[in-house]
Copies of this chain bind each other. A is one copy, B any other.
Amino acid sequence: MLTQTAIRASAPPTYFAAPPVDRVVNSRPPRDLLATILHLIGAVVSYRRNTELFGENEPADYLYKVVSGGVRTYKILSDGRRQISAFYLPRDMFGLEFAGEYSCSAEAISDAKVLVVNRKTLTALAGRDAEIARELFVLTARELQRVHKRVLLLVKTAQERVASFLVEMAERGSAGNAIELPMSRQDIADYLGLTIETVSRTLTSLETCAAIEVSSRRIVVRNRSALNRMNG
């Protein structure tokens, strides 16, 4: 089903030598201290579409931040179904783990550039700088919120799920009313716990009732309040 072996070989990312920590730590955080530091101690790695960044149960040695493109994290259920946990878009971070291993696999949904950060390095910095530790904690909290939102989404009807998904993507993309979906219908289906056919039909019906316009992966929201009303 998946062709993710190729890139794996190129994955073990090199990262820069120890950064000028003290200077960074002692200066006032410019805007987003964590972001600055990540760029100092991380390396940008390119992944091609559908290639794997890491696999479930592998040692969680790295933390990631999307620079461009998109990434999906997912689990394969025992019966072969795939449940997508999250989509990560530019500026999103992922790969934060508390056990020593990744709890999901991660793949690029499009050609993507990703900042790869050694976890130990970052942890060490967090140990020295409370501000960094705090920002990491905030990230975790945000992740928790996101998952909670997902739970609420999954108890809804197909139409509500798709509508919620579109609203979410519109908010994250923030390109007015146009949404350029980076992921396939199958990805959306596996994210929403629906089949690809149901996603397709629901999009069509949303278009029929004039809430959106669909042309392949480009979606324009025509009636956002209607969408929001459908969110349940």
CA distance A17 to B99 in the complex (A): 36
- Whether A1 is near chain B, meaning CB under 8 Å from some CB there, is no
B148 and A85 contacting across the interface, CB-CB below 8 Å? yes
CA distance A78 to B99 in the complex (A): 36
With A103-B145, A144-B147, A147-B144 given, is the CB distance from A152 to B98 under 8 Å?
A: no
With A103-B145, A144-B98 given, is the CB distance from A151 to B83 under 8 Å?
A: yes
Least distance between A226 CB and chain B CB atoms (Å): 14
Spot the interface stretch: A109-117, A135-143, A204-212. A135-143
Contact of A78 among B138, B147, B151, B232 (CB under 8 A): B232
Which residues from 60 to 118 on chain A have a C-beta closer than 8 Å to any C-beta of chain B?
75, 77-79, 81, 83, 85, 98-99, 103
CA distance A83 to B155 in the complex (A): 8
> Oligomeric state, in number of copies?
2
- Whether A154 is near chain B, meaning CB under 8 Å from some CB there, is yes
Q: Which bracket fits the contact residues of A?
A: 20 to 34
User: Which of A99, A103, A154 neighbours the largest number of chain B CB atoms within 10 Å of its CB?
Assistant: A154
- Whether A150 is near chain B, meaning CB under 8 Å from some CB there, is yes
CA distance A151 to B155 in the complex (A): 10
Least distance between A192 CB and chain B CB atoms (Å): 9
Per-position binary interface string of chain A over residues 111-141, scored 1 when its CB falls under 8 Å from any chain B CB and 0 otherwise: 0000000000000000000000000011011
Chain B residues whose CB sits within 8 angstroms of the CB of A137 once the complex forms: 98, 137, 140
Instruction: Please name the 4 residue pairs, one residue from A and one from B, whose CB atoms are nearest each other, closest first.
Output: A98-B141, A155-B193, A154-B154, A147-B147
| A-B contacts, 13 listed (Cβ < 8 Å) | A75-B152, A77-B152, A79-B232, A85-B148, A98-B141, A140-B140, A144-B147, A147-B148, A150-B151, A151-B154, A154-B154, A154-B193, A155-B193
